[in-house]
Amino acid sequence: MSKQAAAGAPGVQRKIYSAYDEPGSGEEISRRQFMANATLAVGGIVGLGLAIPIIGSLIPKGGSGSGNWAPLNPDEVKQLEDATTKPIKLTFALKSKDSYLPEQSTEEYVWGIKVDPNKFKTDRPDLFKGGANTLPYDVINMSFVIFSPICPHLGCRPVWNGDASRFQCPCHGSQFSFEGEHLAGPAPRGMDPLPFKEQSGVADVMWIRYQSGVPDRVVISYQS
């Protein structure tokens, strides 16, 4: 029975041929195989060429950049000046620029505390005794310290519990003192201080993202 007849006979399943096994002369088969292989090769090269820059744009550049300053809400800074034993949430506009999108501005916040410099240095010796956690900027400025709101464990956001007088992370239970010292939970270090300055009556903060889940402070990115 011919292949054409078999294809039309009742109860006979018709076979679907690919470029590799469709009937034809040896020359036709070789030509089809070459074109199929060439198409796959070109598609793979194009896909790889697109994937490399896309993936590269998603990987944070560790330690890249020098950071920019963003002004804090002046009314909240006044609350910080008058504060005694509780942290003040300070808001500012965080600006970010993606390679493929226009510049965007979102509201972000940090925690500010008013401290006795000598007591703070005693309570947070990890920030002043050298080693990997020594910071390249002054932690204390005008008796104020600014903390990142991001938990050093896995990036959640601790909240201040006035009754317990400590920061508590709602995700995994890490706890920190008023001075940001690690007290309990899985966080590998204390809360991360951020650069802070005051000039001509304007208070500015520099937003830095540190790597989570490690005991050392490793800069992931600067933004603002």
Q: Average pLDDT, stretch 35-45?
A: 66
Q: Average pLDDT of the chain? A: 78
For residue 222, name the pLDDT band (cuts at 50, 70, 90): confident
Q: Average pLDDT, stretch 30-55?
A: 59
pTM of this prediction? 0.67
Q: Is the pLDDT of residue 41 over 90?
A: no
Cα–Cα–Cα angle for 169, 134, 161, rounded to 5 degrees: 20
Q: How many residues are listed for the chain in this entry?
A: 224
Q: Average pLDDT, stretch 92-112?
A: 77
Determine which of 24-38, 75-89, 107-121 has the lowest per-residue pLDDT on average: 24-38
Q: Is the pLDDT of residue 9 over 60?
A: no
pLDDT for the residue 129 = 72
Q: Is the pLDDT of residue 107 over 60?
A: yes
3-class DSSP state of 106: strand
Pairing of strands 182-184, 193-194: unpaired
Contacts of 36 (CB under 8 A, 6+ apart): 19, 20
Q: Average pLDDT, stretch 48-72?
A: 54
CA-atom Rg of the chain in angstroms: 30
Cα–Cα distance, 220 to 224 (Å, whole number): 14
pLDDT for the residue 190 = 94
pLDDT for the residue 141 = 92
Which tokens in the block code for residue 5?
């007849």
Q: Average pLDDT, stretch 170-174?
A: 93
Q: Average pLDDT, stretch 112-141?
A: 84
pLDDT for the residue 53 = 43
Residue 62: count other Cβ atoms within 10 Å of its Cβ. 10
